């Protein structure tokens, strides 16, 4: 069963390497992990999550906000990448902290532009 936030939109729930979102099972994985330092003392995580669907397209679809003819815009490998500065919640849910990016590198660059210190990428 998918978890939902208070607005009723589907959150991603990790279940055996697969995620459930907005009523469908989707493929997703953490493809990069890193950290940055807040205030010189606190280490904060950052993750890049790869999905096989466009999260924000699905949210707009569920809300009835799609433009006529609007379609998801995946990359050539049918993937998109999202930043998360909060990681996965204790219950395994995830909500993106970014727009979709078509490459891991684009997501990394966007993440680095959003924090005041450099990100040290573990993977």
Torsion of CA 32, 38, 40, 43, to 10 degrees: -40
Q: Which two tokens stand for residue 30?
A: 């953490």
Give tens-digit pLDDT for 14-62: 444 444 555 555 667 789 999 999 999 999 999 998 888 898 998 888 8
Confidence band for 89, pLDDT divided at 50, 70 and 90: low
Give tens-digit pLDDT for 66-84: 999 999 999 999 999 999 9
Among 108, 89, 87, 10, which residue's Cα sits nearest to residue 53?
Answer: 10
The model scores a pTM over 0.85: no
* Whole-number Å distance between alpha carbons of 117 and 100: 22
Give tens-digit pLDDT for 92-117: 557 899 999 999 999 999 999 999 99
Q: Which one-letter DSSP state was computed for residue 2? A: -
């Amino acid at each position: 069963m998918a978890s939902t936030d208070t607005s009723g939109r589907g959150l991603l729930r990790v279940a055996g390497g697969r995620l459930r979102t907005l009523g469908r099972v989707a493929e997703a994985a953490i493809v990069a992990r890193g950290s940055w330092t807040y205030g010189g003392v606190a280490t904060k995580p950052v993750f890049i999550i790869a999905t096989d669907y466009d999260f924000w397209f699905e949210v707009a679809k569920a809300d009835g906000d799609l433009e006529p003819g609007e379609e998801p815009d995946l990359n050539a490998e049918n993937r998109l990448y999202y930043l998360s500065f909060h990681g996965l919640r204790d219950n395994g849910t995830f909500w993106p902290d970014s727009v979709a990016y078509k490459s891991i590198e684009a997501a990394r660059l966007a993440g680095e532009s959003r924090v005041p210190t450099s990100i040290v990428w573990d993977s």
